[in-house]
Amino acid sequence: MKRTDIILQERHRDELRKLIVDENGAEGAAYVLLGRSVIGRDPLNCEPRSRYTSFEVIPIPDEDRVSASDRHVTWRTKSFVNLCRRAKEEQLIPGIVHSHPGGFDGFSKQDDKNELELFTLLRNRNGEGVELVSMVEVGGTLYRGRVWVEGAKPPNCERVSVVGQNGISIQGGSLPPGDPAFNRQALAFGDEVNGLLRQLTIGVVGCGGTGSAVVQLLNRLGVGRMVVIDDDVVEVSNLNRLHGATMQDALKKVAKVRVVADEVLRSGLDVGIHPIEGWVDLKDARDALRSCDVIFGCTDDHSGRIFLNRLSHFYLIPVIDVGLALIPRSDGKPGLQEMAARATVLFPGAPCMICRGIADPVRARDEDLKRRNPEEFERQKAEAYVVGAGNPAPAVVTFTTEAATMAVNELLQGLVDYRGEGKWAYNRYRRLSTAEERRQGVKRREDCSICGDLDNWGRGDVVPFLDRVG
Ligand SMILES: [Zn+2]
Ligand SMILES: [Zn+2]
């Protein structure tokens, strides 16, 4: 049986709560449409898996409701047939959600029977190969899920998680027992947090100064698994900031992903790591990226950021983007006119990196051209159609590592709310020259084709990948 998990948008969880949690304690039900990612090969265990992401919540119309008590809920299936039609037309997965206000944790025999009937109806209408997602809300907070793919009763999903402004809430997985290597961390946040971190698969895109620090910090936090992606090799000029890299690595031009992965393995903390040497939108990296629960964006280019910007919205994967601005003085004398570190959290509902001005589509296009067609890039650069790369940027290990720490702490904030704010900070900007930090507010642009278009949020797999042309 294929492994499955479900991610709900926080706004959908809130909508569902209104629709299916009844103040008189009766069961409630609603429909949901979901996107899907079919992962051929999980990066670390090499098994296929599927992930379902909430796309839209649909109330069951009043005329379809038959009866509800604390033990059951029934409705006519006319609206379910409409759901099946939409699912087929829009290539989404239909789902049903109901509540167990009495707190019964799991699917009942009655649920098995009802869902099999709905699944049969779906298959008769939409044909072979259909899937039906079912979720049950237990006692007003917890979700369990499963996916019907054949007529046989399916096992429960690995977990149902919720992603949004309040962070990541992971439910339904089993927590491994305490590990003595992370005992001191348990003293800070409790054993449960170590268990949560161990469940996570984290992507790190870019393994330079900030990325290599992020990887080592995640390793010491004891995350379950990491996927690291970078297309570069170690140079002598990287050694002032690349954690884990040696002079030998630079002389042999070892891949940066190899260096950070070896450092993780050497620590013996049982953190799985899967290095991918290549550019982030490599076809081979798709399965790995779509398996992640959170991705750190540690690239210094616009093209990579725009790619992650889309990925985050289509697959409901939070992206924590790390930025460092060390801008030399304009008069050419030594010193910096600006030194700042930034951690930006991106998820559906947050202003995206284009709306923030962190990622520039025009510069991204130039970078893509340089990578795909260097000769054409040089020609256009000579004619001043594109902006070429300037001098190498200044870099100081304490600053790159400080930016990495800010970003990894934002992951902790999303999991354990250690600041007691109940939510993520969208954008933290730390001026290193004055040791001051600000939170930068900016609105989503309603006409933004990424964060302003709800049809992207949770859409999952589409052709072409991420609905990108070219
Ligand atoms: Zn039930
Ligand atoms: Zn936007």
Q: Mean pLDDT throughout 388-416? A: 90
Dist. CA 216–CA 220, nearest whole Å: 6
Q: What's the gap in Å between 67 CA and the centre of ligand 2?
A: 43
Q: What's the gap in Å between 55 CA and the centre of ligand 2?
A: 18
Q: What's the gap in Å between 35 CA and the centre of ligand 2?
A: 21
Q: What's the gap in Å between 306 CA and the centre of ligand 1?
A: 42
pLDDT at 280 over 90: no
Q: What's the gap in Å between 38 CA and the centre of ligand 2?
A: 26
Backbone angles phi, psi at 257, to 5 degrees: -65, -35
Report pLDDT for 174: 59
Q: What's the gap in Å between 354 CA and the centre of ligand 2?
A: 5
Report pLDDT for 390: 65
In this structure, the number of other CB atoms found within 10 A of the CB of residue 150 comes to 12
Q: What's the gap in Å between 452 CA and the centre of ligand 2?
A: 6
Q: What's the gap in Å between 152 CA and the centre of ligand 1?
A: 17
The predicted-structure confidence for 203-250, as pLDDT tens digits, reads as follows 999 999 999 999 999 999 999 999 999 999 999 999 999 999 999 999
DSSP H or E stretch at residue 251 = helix 247-252
Residues 6+ apart with CB under 8 A from 50: 2, 3, 4, 36, 37, 38, 39, 147
The predicted-structure confidence for 3-59, as pLDDT tens digits, reads as follows 999 999 999 999 999 999 887 888 899 999 999 999 999 888 889 999 999 999 999
Beta strands in 10-86 (DSSP E): 29-39, 49-59, 65-68, 73-75
The predicted-structure confidence for 160-207, as pLDDT tens digits, reads as follows 999 999 999 987 555 666 688 999 999 999 888 898 999 999 999 999
Q: What's the gap in Å between 338 CA and the centre of ligand 2?
A: 26
Report pLDDT for 429: 95
Q: What's the gap in Å between 176 CA and the centre of ligand 1?
A: 28
Q: What's the gap in Å between 432 CA and the centre of ligand 1?
A: 54
Please report, as a single letter, which amino acid is at residue 218.
L
The predicted-structure confidence for 120-167, as pLDDT tens digits, reads as follows 999 999 999 999 999 999 987 789 999 999 878 999 999 999 999 999
Q: What's the gap in Å between 107 CA and the centre of ligand 1?
A: 6
Report pLDDT for 72: 80
Q: What's the gap in Å between 358 CA and the centre of ligand 2?
A: 11
Q: Mean pLDDT throughout 379-395? A: 75
pLDDT at 383 over 80: no
Give the ligand whose atoms come closest to the C-alpha of residue 111: 1
Strand 65-68 to 29-39 pairing: unpaired
Give the ligand whose atoms come closest to the C-alpha of residue 359: 2
Report pLDDT for 227: 97
Beta-carbon neighbours within 5 Å of ion ligand 1:
108, 111
Span 180-465: which CATH code?
Answer: 3.40.50.720
C-alpha distance across the termini of the chain, in Å: 36
Distances (CA, A) of 292 to 223, 237, 243, 264: 12, 31, 23, 18
Residues 6+ apart with CB under 8 A from 366: 377, 386, 387
The predicted-structure confidence for 86-108, as pLDDT tens digits, reads as follows 999 999 999 999 999 888 999 99
Query: Which of 53, 135, 113 is CA-nearest to residue 311?
Result: 53
Give the ligand whose atoms come closest to the C-alpha of residue 446: 2
The predicted-structure confidence for 434-446, as pLDDT tens digits, reads as follows 999 999 888 888 8
Q: For residue 51, what are its two tokens? A: 């992930």
Choosing among 1.20.5, 3.30.530, 3.40.140, 1.20.120, the CATH entry for 3-171 is 3.40.140
Question: CB of 443 within 8 A of CB of 427?
Answer: no
Q: For residue 280, what are its two tokens? A: 């982030």
**Residues across the chain:** 470
Q: What's the gap in Å between 291 CA and the centre of ligand 1?
A: 29
Q: What's the gap in Å between 391 CA and the centre of ligand 2?
A: 30
Q: What's the gap in Å between 362 CA and the centre of ligand 2?
A: 15
Residue ranges, comma separated, of all CATH 3.40.50.720 domains in the chain are 180-465
Q: What's the gap in Å between 53 CA and the centre of ligand 2?
A: 20
Report pLDDT for 166: 94
The predicted-structure confidence for 353-380, as pLDDT tens digits, reads as follows 999 999 988 888 888 888 888 888 888 8
Q: What's the gap in Å between 427 CA and the centre of ligand 2?
A: 14
The predicted-structure confidence for 52-69, as pLDDT tens digits, reads as follows 999 999 999 988 887 888
Q: What's the gap in Å between 315 CA and the centre of ligand 1?
A: 28
In this structure, the number of other CB atoms found within 10 A of the CB of residue 462 comes to 13
Dist. CA 211–CA 217, nearest whole Å: 10
Report pLDDT for 190: 86
Residue ranges, comma separated, of all CATH 3.40.140 domains in the chain are 3-171
Give the ligand whose atoms come closest to the C-alpha of residue 447: 2
pLDDT at 384 over 80: no
Dist. CA 433–CA 404, nearest whole Å: 17
